[in-house]
Structure 1
Amino acid sequence: MSAPAPAPLAPTPPPGRPYSAYVYAYPHKTAYRPLPEPPALRDLWHGERKDALSLYLHIPFCEVRCGFCNLFTRIGAPDGLTGRYLDALERQATAVRDALGDDGPVSFANAAFGGGTPTFLTAPELERLCDIAEQRMGADLRAVPLSVETSPATATADRLAVLAERGATRVSIGVQSFVAEEARAAVRPQRRADVEAALGRIRDARVPVLNIDLIYGIDGQTPATWRTSLDAALAWRPEELYLYPLYVRPLTGLARRTALTDRAWDEQRLSLYRQGRDHLLAHGYEQVSMRMFRLAGTAPQGPDDHACQTDGMIGLGCGARSYTSALHYSFDYAVDMGEIRGIIDDYTATDDFTRAVHGRPTNGDEARRRHLLQSLLQAQGMPVADYRERFGADPHEDFPAELAAFAARGWLDQDGTGPLLRLTPEGLAHSDALGPELFSPAVRAAMAAYEAK
């Protein structure tokens, strides 16, 4: 697995605490519910713009499960399961492409393979995965940015060769820490020598963009050990780096072993974040969001943080989401390993993929919140004129209390009064507090009512 998953949102985030939840999509999947009358995909996509779609293929398998992970994934795969999963993925792709219809142009602007760990698949299985994207969905992988997640153990030369030949422009590897004691504390068994060897193989494959994920806030981590991981990553001069705060989530390995929830931990993470941010900025990186840093002069080769979660997303696989302008939909969600296995088994046995079965409608208010979240959590900010053109109103009219509170905390550049609604450096540092405050009462209530399984 690559990036750590978001934490479920508390019903009311305490003001002033910097870490409430990683807002990587809105509405959050824990606000989804079974749809009482599952709509046909053909009806959902009729009239939608389909000439610049995003394509995401989800592979829910990992060789190990990290202690912090609540991604939808299982450890290993019994004989034949990956083949059955790809069979189901192909059936789903066929049904979805048929549902998109031919009433207008259908094309893809970008693609991504995530998980889980897509490179858990063998090299021939990765070939088949690419074939499904191209032959069933009609995506030209060599003509669009293609991002793929990997892990140190599965970034093998044969797998990387397949990805490079099929058009991968970005490989993201979850390292989390180059310090052995920290890796063990995060319940992520790995040796630094194996990590370095995997990074070498990725560079040898000549994929244009290498992204390295690191985590701060691990038990026992210090400014000195954090600097060790930062410098070890910088030695590879990756085009992108993601710095993630550690979250302890229900039903994960760390949740069963620790209870790091106090304000001292908040302050530790915030201090390490500032250290990491400043260190990367001093070494030629530009900040794209709270988490994402890009080497100056590097052209984007994949969707930016948050920006990938736009309307017009086709998600294939049992953990993927799809987004139309009116409905976000997916399959059921779980964290517990037994529940995940059951959902995967149900998915592989499914023959009819023509309807959306689990999701949440997005009304006008939710679309406004979504637009503001997507834009404000990016370092470049949101032109107020763009919001006004789309919704016919000023964001300060739609969210007066929220924006006034952000300005009072010093989180908005120019107190939010300029033509560009943009976060200050301190606002970016508090993205995980700011984002959840923009969630609607209805979404917040649905998330609070969600029973983790």
Structure 2
Amino acid sequence: MSTTTAAPATRPYLSYVYAYPHKTAYRPLAGRPALRELWAAERKDALSLYLHIPFCEVRCGFCNLFTRIGAPDELTTRYLDALDRQATAVREALGDEEPVRFAAAAFGGGTPTFLTAAELERLCDIAEKRMGAELRSVPLSVETSPSTATADRLAVLADRGTTRISIGVQSFVEAEARAAVRPQRRADVEAALDRIRDARIPVLNIDLIYGIDGQTEDSWRASLDAALGWRPEELYLYPLYVRPLTGLGRLDADGGASADAAWDEQRLRLYRAGRDHLLAHGYEQVSMRMFRRADAPRTDGPDDYACQTDGMIGLGCGARSYTTKLHYSFDYAVEMREVRAIIDGYAATEDFSRAEVGRYVDGDEARRRHLLQSVLQAEGLRLADYRERFGTSPADDFPLDLARFEARGWLDASAGASGLLRLSPEGLAHSDALGPELFSPDVRAAMAAYELK
């Protein structure tokens, strides 16, 4: 029986749980296991493929992603060369004893469209010719930014089968964008959205952020309405976080807004206003962050990174790979100097046949991950799926946690009749508090011991 010891949540915004365990819980792997051995017994008929491009034209004040500003000295060429070598090694490790098929693909970062149109062609070639992914036959999601969503790049992506493009706008109010250390002109944002629509990529996602200094309910609604004017198939609403070693983290080094209960109240108020506004305009809530237009085409890709099972191949120095028992990647950092060193090291690597850094995720941790990634979706966790996979129920494995969440009103009491474990609207609003409470003691200890760099 698994339990978690955690103090009652006092703040609604502890951490965005987009993957479990977080990379700060990864450590160098003893013996550097060979990829061929790690993947030998894995199913390979419905893999996901993720290619990571760690470059941006600017680094936003809130960003703690693994990325750097610019790419001097032909670094993008050297990086793509390394990505090609890694793809070759990984495909060899997957073997040909059974069919290898990719069911979904994504290019993320950083900003993949930091690459030129010709470099994007090469990136697609790596996915197709080295890995064997049929990009025009599977859901393909690509991230972009207003300044890099140029017509020539979008034409490449559309031609190579991109089904979803996600653009980080954050705010249509220029003063708010500056406050988030993301200087941009609204006219440039609108021009980029116009080019995306002209490219006829089926699904447009727009990212917006709430909780920015100076943001009000009126200005938040103005951004929402500006986004709705483009009828995006998806909208992601992100609460602002102030994280260490980021631009805003340095500005807030005295612990101002990030330790302010009033800021929590502001973010919750804006979240609820945004949620209700989108629901009233024909959108369905998929998770705390994700909203989908009710009549939007479905690409049948994974929602909101909710990959409860495994089979993820990540290429690039910031990408994760998942087998049924091991999550692995490369070293992780946030501070720019450290990030640059890791990228340079990756670009110079010749041998990609072994896993370097990671964490084993089996037994209790596999149950914990499945629960986390399922229950944080609005549709909830299917109890029959959990029992089929683990032979138990969440109530067997996490009785104290579920009792605590129920006492707080975070669970939908009516969901059990439909065979679901599902969050209530209030539970969904507190996803960033609930998720971290389900971290195991071992993962908590590893994250606490990680030396931030």
TM-score by length of 1: 0.96
Percent of aligned pairs sharing the same letter: 79
The answer to whether the 8 A contact 2:127-2:133 is kept is yes
Is residue 176 from structure 1 mapped to residue 170 from structure 2 by the alignment? yes
The 3 A distance-change label for structure 1 pair 415 and 20 is farther
| 1:193 corresponds to | 187
How far apart in 2 are the matches of 1:300 and 1:374?
Answer: 20
| 1:299 corresponds to | 297
SS at match of 2:434: helix
The answer to whether the 8 A contact 2:307-2:373 is kept is no
Cα displacement string for residues 183-219 of structure 1 (whole angstroms, at most 9, x for unaligned residues): 0000001000000000000000000000000000000
| 2:95 corresponds to | 101
Deviation at 1:222, TM superposition (A): 0.4
Is residue 424 from structure 1 mapped to residue 418 from structure 2 by the alignment? no
- Which of 92, 115, 137 does residue 131 from structure 2 map onto? 137
How far apart in 1 are the matches of 2:309 and 2:126?
Answer: 23
SS at match of 1:343: helix
How far apart in 1 are the matches of 2:282 and 2:45?
Answer: 36
How far apart in 2 are the matches of 1:257 and 1:309?
Answer: 37
How far apart in 1 are the matches of 2:54 and 2:291?
Answer: 27
Is residue 31 from structure 1 mapped to residue 25 from structure 2 by the alignment? yes
How far apart in 1 are the matches of 2:426 and 2:74?
Answer: 50
The 3 A distance-change label for structure 1 pair 309 and 147 is farther
| 1:282 corresponds to | 280
| 2:311 corresponds to | 312
Cα displacement string for residues 137-161 of structure 1 (whole angstroms, at most 9, x for unaligned residues): 0000000000000000000000000
| 2:442 corresponds to | 442
| 1:387 corresponds to | 386
- Which of 133, 153, 158 does residue 159 from structure 1 map onto? 153
How far apart in 1 are the matches of 2:281 and 2:311?
Answer: 36
Deviation at 1:262, TM superposition (A): 1.3
| AA aligned opposite 2:293 | L
The 3 A distance-change label for structure 1 pair 371 and 161 is same
SS at match of 2:135: coil
How far apart in 1 are the matches of 2:181 and 2:309?
Answer: 33
Cα displacement string for residues 232-269 of structure 1 (whole angstroms, at most 9, x for unaligned residues): 00000000000000000000000111231211110100
How far apart in 1 are the matches of 2:274 and 2:307?
Answer: 24
Deviation at 1:415, TM superposition (A): 6.9
Deviation at 1:422, TM superposition (A): 0.4
How far apart in 2 are the matches of 1:287 and 1:71?
Answer: 25
SS at match of 2:365: helix
| AA aligned opposite 1:430 | H
How far apart in 1 are the matches of 2:236 and 2:58?
Answer: 21
| AA aligned opposite 2:436 | P
Cα displacement string for residues 86-133 of structure 1 (whole angstroms, at most 9, x for unaligned residues): 000000000000000111110000000000000000000000000000
Deviation at 1:297, TM superposition (A): 2.3
How far apart in 2 are the matches of 1:145 and 1:417?
Answer: 32
| AA aligned opposite 1:437 | E
Deviation at 1:416, TM superposition (A): 6.5
SS at match of 2:50: strand
How far apart in 2 are the matches of 1:162 and 1:310?
Answer: 31
| 1:267 corresponds to | 265
The answer to whether the 8 A contact 2:308-2:370 is kept is no
- Which of 142, 146, 158 does residue 140 from structure 2 map onto? 146
| 1:16 corresponds to | 10
SS at match of 1:413: coil
Any unmatched runs of 5+ in structure 1?
1-10
The answer to whether the 8 A contact 1:13-1:433 is kept is no
How far apart in 2 are the matches of 1:305 and 1:13?
Answer: 27
How far apart in 1 are the matches of 2:151 and 2:437?
Answer: 44
The 3 A distance-change label for structure 1 pair 165 and 395 is same
Which runs of structure 2 are paired with 1:282-431 in the superposition (5 Å)?
282-301=280-299, 302-308=301-307, 310-414=309-413, 417-418=416-417, 419-431=419-431
SS at match of 1:244: strand
| 1:7 corresponds to | none
Deviation at 1:15, TM superposition (A): 1.3
| AA aligned opposite 1:137 | M
Structure 1 window deviating more from structure 2 (301-310 vs 85-94): it is: 301-310
How far apart in 2 are the matches of 1:309 and 1:244?
Answer: 22
The 3 A distance-change label for structure 1 pair 309 and 229 is farther
Which runs of structure 2 are paired with 1:78-97 in the superposition (5 Å)?
78-97=72-91
| AA aligned opposite 1:166 | R
How far apart in 2 are the matches of 1:397 and 1:309?
Answer: 19
| 1:6 corresponds to | none
SS at match of 1:24: coil
How far apart in 1 are the matches of 2:48 and 2:91?
Answer: 13
Is residue 53 from structure 1 mapped to residue 52 from structure 2 by the alignment? no
How far apart in 2 are the matches of 1:394 and 1:294?
Answer: 30
The answer to whether the 8 A contact 1:27-1:443 is kept is yes
The answer to whether the 8 A contact 1:26-1:370 is kept is yes
How far apart in 1 are the matches of 2:305 and 2:215?
Answer: 28
The answer to whether the 8 A contact 1:25-1:309 is kept is no
The answer to whether the 8 A contact 1:330-1:359 is kept is yes
SS at match of 1:329: strand
- C-alpha RMSD of the superposition: 1.2
How far apart in 2 are the matches of 1:95 and 1:147?
Answer: 24
The 3 A distance-change label for structure 1 pair 376 and 153 is same
The answer to whether the 8 A contact 2:308-2:369 is kept is no
The answer to whether the 8 A contact 1:58-1:316 is kept is yes
How far apart in 2 are the matches of 1:384 and 1:86?
Answer: 43
| 2:62 corresponds to | 68
| AA aligned opposite 1:435 | G
Instruction: Give the count of matched residue pairs.
Output: 443
Cα displacement string for residues 373-399 of structure 1 (whole angstroms, at most 9, x for unaligned residues): 111000001121211111111110100
